[in-house]
Amino acid sequence: MNDEQVASHMATYRLAALPGDGTGREVMREALRVLSVFEENSPLSFEIKEIPCGGQYYLETGEEWPAGSFEYCRDESDAILLGAIGWPDARLPNGDMAGGQTILGLRSGLELYANVRPVRLYPGVTHKVHGIHKQVWDPDLVDIIMIRENTEGLYHSLLRRMEQRALGKKDEPIVIEEFPGLDGEVAWDPRPISRSGSERVIRFAFDYAKVRQRKSGKPQSVTCVDKSNVTRGCQLFRKIFREFAESNQDVPVKEAYIDAFTMWLVRNPEDLDIVVLPNMFGDIATDLASVLQGGMGMSASANMGPRHMLFEPVHGSAPKHAGKNIVNPIAMIQSVQMMFEALGFRKKDETLDICAEILQNAIRQHFEEGAPVTYDLGGTASTSDVGEAIAERCERMLKARFS
Ligand code: IPM
Ligand code: MN
Numbered ranges of CATH 3.40.718.10 in the chain: 1-112+305-403, 114-149+189-295
The predicted pLDDT at position 135 comes to: 59
- Residue 319: CB atoms within 10 A of its CB come to 16
Q: Which atom of ligand 1 is nearest to the CA of 103?
A: 7
Rounded to whole angstroms, the Cα distance separating 30 from 241 reads 39
Q: What is the DSSP string of 137-206?
A: --GGG-EEEEEEE-SSGGGHHHHHHHHHHHTTPPPPPPPP---TT--S----------HHHHHHHHHHHH
Of 272, 113, 282, the C-alpha closest to 198 is: 113
CA of 132 relative to ligand 1 center, distance in Å: 26
Average pLDDT value for the chain: 94
Is the pLDDT confidence value at 157 over 90? yes
Confirm whether pTM is higher than 0.75.
Answer: yes
The predicted pLDDT at position 40 comes to: 97
Residue 290's Cα: distance from chain center in Å? 12
- Residues 100-152 have pLDDT tens digits of 999 999 999 999 999 999 999 999 998 887 665 555 667 778 999 999 999 99
Give me the helices (H) in 195-349, please. Answer: 195-216, 232-247, 258-267, 279-290, 330-347
Mean pLDDT of 262-285: 96
Ligand nearest to the backbone CA of 100 = 1
Mean pLDDT of 218-240: 97
Is the pLDDT confidence value at 341 over 70? yes
Query: Residue 62: which region, alpha, beta or left (left: phi > 0; alpha: psi -120 to 50)?
Result: left
Which of 283, 288, 303 is the pocket-test mutation for ligand 1 (most atoms within 8 Å of CB)? 283
- Residues 173-228 have pLDDT tens digits of 666 667 889 988 888 899 999 999 999 999 999 999 999 999 999 999 999 999 99
- 172: pLDDT confidence band, cut at 50, 70 and 90? low
Class of the CATH domain delimited by 1-112+305-403: alpha beta
Which of 64, 91, 104 is the pocket-test mutation for ligand 1 (most atoms within 8 Å of CB)? 104
Rounded to whole angstroms, the Cα distance separating 264 from 89 reads 36
Is the pLDDT confidence value at 20 over 80? yes
Q: Which atom of ligand 1 is nearest to the CA of 115?
A: 9
Q: 131, 70 in Cβ contact below 8 A?
A: no
CA of 365 relative to ligand 1 center, distance in Å: 30
The predicted pLDDT at position 8 comes to: 46
Nearest CA to ligand 1 atom 6: 85
The predicted pLDDT at position 5 comes to: 46
**Is the CB of residue 103 below 6 angstroms from any atom belonging to ligand 1?**
yes
Burial 370-391 (b: 16+ CB within 10 A, else e): ebebbbbbebebbbebbbbbbb
Is the pLDDT confidence value at 7 over 50? no
The more confident residue out of 319 and 135 is: 319
Residues forming a β-bridge with 313 = 300
* Residues 6+ positions from 123 with CB-CB distance below 8 Å: 139, 364, 367, 368
Percent of the chain with pLDDT over 90: 88
The predicted pLDDT at position 9 comes to: 54
User: Architecture of domain 114-149+189-295 in CATH?
Assistant: 3-Layer(aba) Sandwich (3.40)
Rounded to whole angstroms, the Cα distance separating 358 from 351 reads 10
